[in-house]
Amino acid sequence: MDMHEVLEKTVTGLGYELVDVERSPRGRVLRVFIDKSEKPGGIDAEDCAQVSNQLSRVLLVENVDYDCLEVSSPGLDRLLRKESDFERFAGSEITLKLRLAVNGRRNFSGVLHGVCEGKLRLQIDSGELEFDLANVDKARLVPDFGRAKSSDRLV
């Protein structure tokens, strides 16, 4: 079993979603980003500690060589990788970088309208565009600090 499979199986077995995995250039630092969509308030330090403890044991048994394991939430500007991510965050503002240019552009930002038949739909100032998911190099949520503040206020 390769390292990514071990991480995926362990993290999902604990009830979390494996969002992303990064290794430092020399592979000595292993960064694991987790999420739990149904948890209000998002991932906290206890979640990270629980996953870190379990992964430390599993990686030792699987003989994965690393010096430092970091487990964290994906952050407010989380990467969108899977089709389910694009569906979950429909209605959110995102930035998008394509592998191959469309109409001479590779970078776009706008409101995500979801995915239909392998095509990502994005509302930009000039209208709605569709992109093949296979052409998406990187997509990130744009943090909306105004919305977070207004929803936290007591009325």
Q: What does the pLDDT look like over 107-140, one tens digit per residue? A: 999 999 989 888 999 999 988 999 999 999 999 9
Residue ranges making up the domain that contains 132: 83-147
Q: What is the CATH number of the domain that holds 38?
A: 3.30.300.70
Within this chain, do residues 100 and 120 fall inside the same structural domain, yes or no? yes
Count up the domains in the chain and report the number: 2
Q: What mean pLDDT do residues 61-80 have? A: 92
- Whole-model pTM: value is 0.79
Domain-embedded: residue 153: no
Distance CA(75)–CA(33), nearest Å, equals: 9
**7 is a domain residue:** yes
Q: Cα 147–148–149 angle (5° rounding)?
A: 90
Q: How far apart are the first and last CA of the chain?
A: 52
Q: What DSSP state is assigned to residue 73?
A: -
Same domain assignment for residues 13 and 67: yes
Same domain, 68 and 87: no
Give the least confident one: 8-12, 25-29, 48-52, 143-147. Answer: 143-147
Looking at the domain assignment, is residue 154 inside a domain?
no
113 and 63 in a common domain: no
Tokens of 42: 């998002």
